[in-house]
Amino acid sequence: MSYNRFQPFYPSALRHIERHFPHNSTPGSKFNSRFKDPKEVAEYAWEKIKYAYRGELLIREINFQEVIGLEALIALKDIPKGVGIKKRTREIPNKNKPGRYNSYTIWTAEDMRLQETKTMTVIAGPLERTRVHTFLTIYPGRYAPDFSDQEFWSKHALISPRKQKKRRRH
């Protein structure tokens, strides 16, 4: 039996999933043309988790036969020699103090290509301070904990992709 209060197409969930499409400039993992829009991603994910969701945090990795997107996560030990690595600060809204932010230091691998992936991570659960149950995020790639997990983030980096050079017209 599926959890009957889950809202797979909740507007804030769809807006968050939208970040993981190529036309969106937010850095991070990106879906390819396997899915046409966030609603199609949410519909697919709901079909995969609806019998497992029980009203609490659920994290699932779904594997595909084909490449479904590009992943922005890499272990520091896997970064090729010669690739620049920088420390950066990420500001994330504080869930307990509206209007305040927490700062986290993370590594970025500069000017690398995002890595092809056949995995999609689905994180579902109740939204903070609401009774809404929906997708907290869905993205192409392996599971990564939030930035507060400093042990994980001390060994991993986000790929900062190389910028496309604009071609001049003659």
Q: What is the DSSP string of the chain?
A: ---TTB-TT-HHHHHHHHTTSTT--SSS-EE-TTSSSHHHHHHHHHHHHTTT--SS-EEEEEE-SS--EEE-EEEGGGSPTT--EEEEEEEEE-TTSTT-EEEEEEEEEEEEPPEEESEEEEEEEEPTTSS-EEEEEEEES-----TT-HHHHTSEEEEEEPPPPPPPP-
Dist. CA 155–CA 162, nearest whole Å: 22
What is the reported pLDDT for 166?
46
Give percent of the chain with pLDDT exceeding 90.
66
Does residue 91 have a pLDDT over 60? yes
Neighbours of 36 (CB within 10 A): 10
Dist. CA 85–CA 108, nearest whole Å: 6
pLDDT range class, residue 28, cuts 50, 70, 90: confident
CA 33 to chain centre: 17
- The pTM score is 0.83
Dist. CA 133–CA 55, nearest whole Å: 7
Please tell me which residue, 58 or 165, carries the higher pLDDT value: 58
